[in-house]
Each structure stands twice: as structure tokens, then as C-alpha cells.
Structure 1
Amino acid sequence: MCAPPMFVKEVIVDSQRRTNLSRRQMLRLFATTAGVTAAGAILAACGNPPEDAGTAGGATAAAGDNSLLNAPTATPIAPQSFGSSSAKTKIRFWTILSSVDGTVMNNLVRKFCEENPDIAVESLQGLTDFNQKLQASTISNTAPEVALIRHTYIGPFVDKNMLGPIEASELTSAGINAEDYDPTVWKFTQYKDKQYTVPLDIHCMAMVYNKKILADNNLQVPTTLDEWTKVVETVTKGDVLGYNTFGIGSGAAEYMTWYIFAIWQQFGVSMISEDGTKAAFNTPEGVAAIKWMKEIQSKGNPKNVSTADLGRTGKLATWPDGPWISTLYFDPSQAESANDMDAAPLPQKDLNKKAVWGQSHQFALPRQANPDPEKRAAALKFILWMSEHSADWAKAGQVPARNSARDEALNGSDPILQKLKAWASELPYVSFMPAHPMLLEVMPRIAANVEGALLDQWSIEEGLKKAEDEVNQILAG
């Protein structure tokens, strides 16, 4: 799995190779693994990691490519069981989290089981090819009781009959109440007037910057895109780069679209039309937004060199990123320039019309062929506990969605958690991508074609036209 450069500790799910597998092919994932646990069966049947996403327009698997079924792939964190073998109820929990995120999450799972000895949890963190394997598990009747997904997965997963709705009465009985959460993120737990998830966190884009570099050049922290461009142009000299675009160099990867969406929103541009039938970004404003992205990239990193370690060593002045980088870039034991680093709200095109991309990890209940009321109740109890203790989840570099946990994390004494305030301050104007069943197919095509324009492989106009045509083809079915 090719992780995005310099900023992600979390395994990025393969959205590049979006092969639709038949029921027969999905069941083949489990056919040779009878007699082992469901988690073991999944792992034994994992497919090859995706092709290198390091070039723009990375290869997409041809229709009918069954390489997913061939050789096993590793899961970053081995499945672990927590709680007593004699616990009354056992549930399974799958996530896409790896590295620090997966470790922090497993620590929380362990604590949950210590406080709730009647429930045991089999925890599978960092599951590679997560989307395909979760779909396979729902077809083969081996789905976990709880899964942690991105909110952008809700529409596609519901469309594939992978998630079941959560009734209002269930939430009330479990003690899960909408008023306890940020209202924007709660809104995006729903799809087609039904609730499918409960939010754990919110993450958005802010500007990470080197205080020393700005001070050495007598510069203030920029608040607008024009100011940002001027700062970048001033500091880019010698062995210092002024800027690098989030996700650039990763090809057809959904995560680059996060930043593109943020800038489009500032220019008043939508990704998909309101009725969900066509691309909406190939407009004069959409072109202008990408022109700004290309201009600042050209001034801040004219040779488009990798900046994987430059931020940690004090050679990169500014870049857009999410709160997940906090544990790496603001920790002196991890980054030599940590004491010089800080974060500020993402600069804006118009300070009177602020916008920034936002996303959320959310707990979902995968569809079960034979629902077990006790397991479902245990799953909801698990979700509530995780939400109530999500101030500890903030230590992985995430802003809790639960109001009380967010207040606790931001008002404590931990200097790294204090950095999360830059991202949390943007919540009043955060914009979530539209809920759409084809969103996971759409995002990589936008990323690949915009990246090609930023890297001078084609013009901005050509790139957006290519993206528009490909997205419209996807949306047309």
C-alpha cells in the first residue's frame, strides 16, 4: 500500500483499483480458508497491494482484473483479542487505521474490555483493501459487528448493501444523542434520510508552518490565499522550499481530492451537481482554483521535489495538512524542527466566505445476515464508550466529534493536543464532500487529472475536461 507522502499514519484504502467483484468472486475469497476465524480468513485471502501511486494518473485495473484474489497481503497490525474468553458477548471491530492510529485505538479497545468484562472484542486494525474485504464479508455472512469508516464511504457502502441503518430508538436506548456532537459532522452520519453511523472525530485542512522561517523573513502568518502566495514566494530560496501541495505525487489517490475540494469550496465550486448526475467543477471558477494551486506550487516547489522529511528538518516553510500530523511534526522526539512548527487555519480566498474540507471517522454497523440482538447492543455500547473516551483518541492527532471530549482534549495541558486548536477553530465553516454512491470512484479520477495539470503533463483546462468526462461516465453508470 502506497501511503501519501509525509503526512499520513493511517493506511489509505485502495481507491485506485476499484474492481467490482461478483458474488462468486467474493465468496472465493473465503473458499480456501474454512475452519479459521473470520479475521484469519480475510487476511489469508487479501489481494496484492495497489500499483505504485507515485505517478500522476496511476494505472487503474482493467475490468475483470482478479489480482485481488491472488496473493496475500499484510495487515499493518495483527488482529488482537481483548477481554475474557468467558465474556458473555464477543464482537469484532475492523478499521483502516495503522501505525500510531491503530496502536492508540487498540489501547482504547483494551481499556473498554477492562471496564466492560461482559464484552470481548476482536480488533483488526489497519486492514488493507478494506473496502473490498468488508464487502466480501457482508456477502459471505462474516461481517464484523462494528467498523470504523470514513463518512465518504457511507453512500457507496449503503448502495452495495454493506451497512444497515441505525434506528433512532436504538440510539436513544444506547444513550447516543445528537446534541452531544458537533452538528455538522452529525449531519453527515445520514444518507437518504436514514442514519448509518456515529461520528468519532472530525479532521480538516489547516496550514502547517515553520515559525522560524517566517520570522527570519519578517513575515506574518498568512490568512488569505494571496498572502500565502506572497509568503511562499519570499521564503523559497537556497535549501528552503516555501510550499508543497497536499498529496501531490500520489496519482489517482482519493486523499489528494481532499485538498482540491477545500480550494474549490473557497472558489464557490461544487464537485458534483446537486442532483448527483454530473460533474460540476469544470467552470471558470473551478479553473481559477486550480490555477491558484498551480501558481503556489510553482513558486514554493518549482521542481516538485519530494518533501517527505523537509518539514521535520526545518526546510519546508508551509504546507496544508490534517491534524493527524501532530504526533509527528510537533513532537521534539520525532522531528528536530518541532519547536519551530505550528499550525494556523487554512488561508482563505475570501475571509467573509470561509470554507475548508472536512471529513470524519465514523462507527458503522455492517449488515448481518443473522442479526444477534445481544451483539448489536454490545456494539452500540462499545460505540458510546469510544465516543465518551475520544479525548484519548485525540492523542492520535484527531479532533473529537463529541463536544465534551473535544473540550477536554483542547483545554488540557498536553502541548501537542493544544495544536489541534487550529483545526478545531475551523469547524464552524467546514465543508463535507457530498454523500454519493459513486464518490469513491469519482475522487481518484479528479485527483489524477488535476495532479497531471499541476505537474505540467497537460494544461489545467485539459485536465479538468478529462476529469469531467471521466466523472460523467462514472455517474452515468
Structure 2
Amino acid sequence: MSATPTHGTPLQRRAFLGIAGGLAGTGLLTACGGGTKLGDDGGEPDDAPSFSGGEYDGPKVTLQYWNGFTGGDGPHMRAMVEAFNKEYAGRIEVRNTTRRWEDLYPAMPTAITAGKGPDVAVIHNDWVATFAARSTLVPLDDVVSALGTKESDFIPAVWRAGIYQGKRYSVPLDVHCLADYANTRHLTRAGLDKPPTDRAGYEDALAELKSAGIRNPFWMPNKWPAHLMFMSLLWQFGGELYSEDGTRALWGSEAGVEALAWMREQITKGHSPAQVAQDAQYNAFKNNKVSFTWDGIWQINDLKANARDLTWQMAPLPVIGDRAAVWSASHNFVLTSQAARDDNKVQAAKFFIDYMSKQSTQWAKAGMIPARNSVREQAEVAKLPQTALAKDMEVFHFLPALPGVGDVQSKALELAVQKAVLGRAKPAEALAEGVRTADKLLAENKQKYAK
């Protein structure tokens, strides 16, 4: 997702959710094996010293900090790190390394094993379980306790996403999701002042826009972010992605068929060209050719800076199914097993995470939705356009905490969605084939990540 999602470049947006497939294929995840040695006693990550909050009072340390904020969010993160380094000069120096997400994830495990990786990092929620299963991360229950944080101050789904096998491995920084972007001038041509919120209204608007001369008002991608659209619709129709025990793919259900059929229908009805090239739908929207496009909130700053001839609005996804739901993800701070080899680095890294987690107001300006309810209620954050998407916290849906889930997504779900959208198979057939592949991968993952 230029995911920083933010997601910087088109390549990032295509890659960040499916990198696990490449990682598993090259053996990079298994390279960090069944538990990295953390000290002279060979202790496990759980043995890292506890954190009680307050100021760091140890000797000066240098922390390696990795993240994938290469897009419009990058300057905001750099400013936050620079402010930290200025305030704690002489005690903690944080060296910020920014890499594309598709490069960062494969590099982390082997770099950490070699002692040349990050001490602290930001990763997406769907990578937490994978890295935790390989003992690449250190639990952060003590940091959460010191921060006084609890589920009631967070969007519930994002809070739970950081837990793997009963331990917390991440501190959520934000939430980012899909949104419905609308061309305001086109809305006027359809007699609307804002995007429709339900299926009937949305479909009527698309028909009206075609009648008003907009040849293809809603381009349907077959690649990024098509699978994010499918997941949103799947949840809207009452479906689920995977069984609770992570052994079966459930997205081939009737809800999945309905979701994918609606996506394909936008092409057969003439609302979209038959084949939309990668990122073409977003570029067409920026150039006033498309009336509606579903994309991530990480596009807000890009539209503000680079679409000066476009007048646009942003709204939650319309409810095409029976309930409101939207694919969502989250950036999370994690502490690595590399830092856990040095007690002082552990304390300094936890102090840094503590500090950064309190900067949610500043981070919201990067286009993100703060994970904390209390921060979203602040006046300067409440007025930001993305904050309005969080009025109903139950709409946010996340990938489950399954090790290797990205592998299943990229090799099964995404390919099934693409095949159906392109008309190469009926939705039910494409999903059934994808589920068969997914179930095999899930079984392999059970063995691969077994402790």
C-alpha cells in the first residue's frame, strides 16, 4: 500500500500486503528460526527487562529505527524523530532508516539475526503475528502497562490486533482504511451534493453520471486495491476471511460471491472499463475522468498537493451489503530481539516507543486516523477529514493475527479477485479455486510457524 498506507509509491501499495509470499519463498522468515539468542544466558525475548515508564536514566545509547514511511507521511515521522533526538540529545540517539515496505519486511529477520537490523520498528498489524512467531519481536505488555493504556481508549479491533498467543507485541499508532473519494463537480452533474451512502443510491448515481456524459464513472481495478475492496464488501455482506483457528479460508462463502459479483457488475454495466491498468483508476480520478474511486486515506495529502484542478470529497465506503464495514490496517511500534541483547537498549527503545505513542496528534497530520479515542476527540484532530471516518468504530475490520497470512492473501485471495474481475472465471468459481489454494497454504503455515 503505498501503504504506508500511507503508502508512498504505487509499487508499495501493490506489494506491502503480499510480501509474505516472497519472504516465505526465500526462507527469510525461517532464517530467524525458533528463537534468536538474546544474551549470554541465551534467554528468550520474554526475559527482557521490564519497563516502568518515566525518563530513561541509563548510559547514552544509539537506537536503529526502521520504518516504511517513504510517502507523504515521511516528513511527519522524520520531524517527530528529530524532535525526540533534540530533546534527549546526549542520552538517546535514534537513527531513522526509511525503506520501502516491500524491502523492509524481507530484510528485517536476517538483519536482526546478524545484529544489523532495527532495535525498534514500525510494522503493519498483519505482520505482528508472523514476526512474533519467529521470536523476532519482544513482548511489550510492560510498556502498555506503564502507559496506562487499555482497550477502552482504542478502536477495539486495532487493539486486539497486537496480541499473539496471549502476549502484546505491538503498540498501535494509527488506523488507516479505504474511503470513497468523489469528484464534487461530477456529483453536481448527478444532482448530488455528497456521495450516496447505500447501494441503491450509489447505483442510481452511477447510472445518472453515465447519462450526464461521464463515460466510466467508477473504474474497477483488478489489482491493488481490488482485494481491499473485496474484503470490505465481504464483511459488509456478513462474511469472514478465515476460521478462528486459522485452518480454513471462509471467503468463498455466499457473502464472498455477492461481494465479488458486485465488483464484476460494475464492468458489465459499463461503469468501468473492462481492464484497468495498475493505479489507472486513481490517476483517472486525479485527472477528473472518474467520479468515484475507493482508495486509502493515505491519498489525502497527495490529492491536496498534486490534484489542484480537482475538487473532491471523501466519505466512508457506501454500504453495498447489509452493514457498514471497511478494510483497515494499522502502523504499530515493535521492539526487536536485536535490542533485547542489551538491557540499556531495551529500556531506551521502550522509552522511545512510549514517547512516540504520545505524539498521535502530530502523526494525525500525516493523514492517519489516531488509534486512541482520546486523541481523535481533540479539537485539532477532530476537524481533520479522515477523523470523520471513525465515528463508528465497529466498521473497521482487520486481517486476523495469523502467522503467514500475507502469503495466503497474495497467492490465493488476490488472484481469485483478479480472475473474477477480469471475467476469466465466474465469482463462485474463482473463489472456490482460491479457497482450495488458501487451505493448503494455511495448513503449511500451521507447520511452518508451530512453536
The bucket for the TM-score relative to the shorter chain is 0.7 to 0.9
Q: 2:49 aligns to what?
A: none
Aligned amino acid, residue 78 of structure 2: N
1:109 is the counterpart of 2:81 = yes
User: Cα 1:185–1:398, aligned 2, differ >3 Å: closer, same or farther?
Assistant: same
Q: 2:423 aligns to what?
A: 456
1:291 is the counterpart of 2:296 = no
Q: How far is the alpha carbon of 1:446 from its aligned partner?
A: 0.5
1:242 is the counterpart of 2:217 = yes
| Structure with bigger RCO (C-alpha 8 Å, 6+ apart) | 2
More helix by share: 2
> What's the secondary structure of 1:221's corresponding residue?
coil
Aligned amino acid, residue 190 of structure 2: N
The separation in 1 between residues aligned to 2:324 and 2:298, in whole angstroms, is: 22
Q: 1:149 aligns to what?
A: 123
> What's the secondary structure of 1:310's corresponding residue?
helix
Q: Deviations over 1:23-50 (max 9, x none)?
A: 79969xxxxxxxxxxxxxxxxxxxxxxx
RMSD: 2.8
Q: Is the 8 A contact 1:313 1:336 kept in 2?
A: no
Q: Deviations over 1:363-392 (max 9, x none)?
A: 111223852222122212222222222222
Q: Deviations over 1:334-387 (max 9, x none)?
A: 21344x201111111356x32222211111112238522221222122222222
> What's the secondary structure of 1:236's corresponding residue?
helix
The separation in 2 between residues aligned to 1:155 and 1:418, in whole angstroms, is: 31
1:421 is the counterpart of 2:359 = no
Q: 1:469 aligns to what?
A: 436
Q: 1:441 aligns to what?
A: 407
The separation in 2 between residues aligned to 1:411 and 1:341, in whole angstroms, is: 20
The separation in 2 between residues aligned to 1:143 and 1:303, in whole angstroms, is: 44
Q: Is the 8 A contact 1:104 1:395 kept in 2?
A: yes
The separation in 1 between residues aligned to 2:240 and 2:67, in whole angstroms, is: 29
| Residue correspondence of structure 1 range 353-364 to structure 2 within 5 A | 353-364=323-334
Percent of paired sites with the same residue: 27
- Match for residue 233 of structure 2 among 256, 263, 281: 263
> What's the secondary structure of 2:202's corresponding residue?
helix
User: Cα 1:7–1:102, aligned 2, differ >3 Å: closer, same or farther?
Assistant: closer
Q: How far is the alpha carbon of 1:142 from its aligned partner?
A: 3.0
Q: 1:160 aligns to what?
A: 134
- Match for residue 72 of structure 2 among 100, 107, 110: 100
1:405 is the counterpart of 2:405 = no
The separation in 2 between residues aligned to 1:452 and 1:16, in whole angstroms, is: 19
The separation in 1 between residues aligned to 2:238 and 2:29, in whole angstroms, is: 44
Choose 280-289 or 224-233, whichever is displaced more. Answer: 224-233
Q: 1:125 aligns to what?
A: 98
The separation in 2 between residues aligned to 1:436 and 1:111, in whole angstroms, is: 36
Aligned amino acid, residue 457 of structure 1: R
Aligned amino acid, residue 277 of structure 1: T
User: Cα 1:24–1:166, aligned 2, differ >3 Å: closer, same or farther?
Assistant: closer
Q: How far is the alpha carbon of 1:94 from its aligned partner?
A: 0.7
> What's the secondary structure of 1:94's corresponding residue?
strand
| Residue correspondence of structure 1 range 304-343 to structure 2 within 5 A | 304-305=275-276, 306-329=280-303, 331=304, 333-338=305-310, 340-343=311-314
Aligned amino acid, residue 374 of structure 1: N
1:140 is the counterpart of 2:107 = no
1:390 is the counterpart of 2:390 = no
Q: How far is the alpha carbon of 1:469 from its aligned partner?
A: 1.2
- Match for residue 203 of structure 1 among 176, 180, 184: 176
Q: Is the 8 A contact 1:174 1:381 kept in 2?
A: no
Q: 1:215 aligns to what?
A: 188
- Match for residue 344 of structure 1 among 291, 312, 315: 315
The separation in 2 between residues aligned to 1:24 and 1:8, in whole angstroms, is: 23
Q: Deviations over 1:424-472 (max 9, x none)?
A: 2342321222111121111112112211110112222221122111101
1:91 is the counterpart of 2:57 = no
Task: State TM-score, norm by structure 2.
Answer: 0.81
The separation in 1 between residues aligned to 2:30 and 2:171, in whole angstroms, is: 31
> What's the secondary structure of 1:348's corresponding residue?
coil
Aligned amino acid, residue 115 of structure 1: E
What stretches of structure 2 of length at least 5 have no aligned partner? 33-58, 445-451
Aligned amino acid, residue 276 of structure 1: G
Q: Deviations over 1:108-166 (max 9, x none)?
A: 11111112222101111124422221111232233311110110011211222221212
| Residue correspondence of structure 1 range 226-241 to structure 2 within 5 A | 226-236=200-210, 238=213, 240-241=215-216
Choose 149-158 or 17-26, whichever is displaced more. Answer: 17-26
> What's the secondary structure of 2:336's corresponding residue?
coil
> What's the secondary structure of 1:346's corresponding residue?
coil
Q: How far is the alpha carbon of 1:178 from its aligned partner?
A: 4.7
Q: How many residues align?
A: 403
Choose 317-326 or 6-15, whichever is displaced more. Answer: 6-15
Q: 1:300 aligns to what?
A: 271
Aligned amino acid, residue 264 of structure 1: L
Aligned amino acid, residue 391 of structure 2: S
The separation in 1 between residues aligned to 2:381 and 2:27, in whole angstroms, is: 50
User: Cα 1:157–1:119, aligned 2, differ >3 Å: closer, same or farther?
Assistant: same
User: Cα 1:159–1:257, aligned 2, differ >3 Å: closer, same or farther?
Assistant: farther
What stretches of structure 1 of length at least 5 have no aligned partner? 28-86
Task: State TM-score, norm by structure 1.
Answer: 0.77
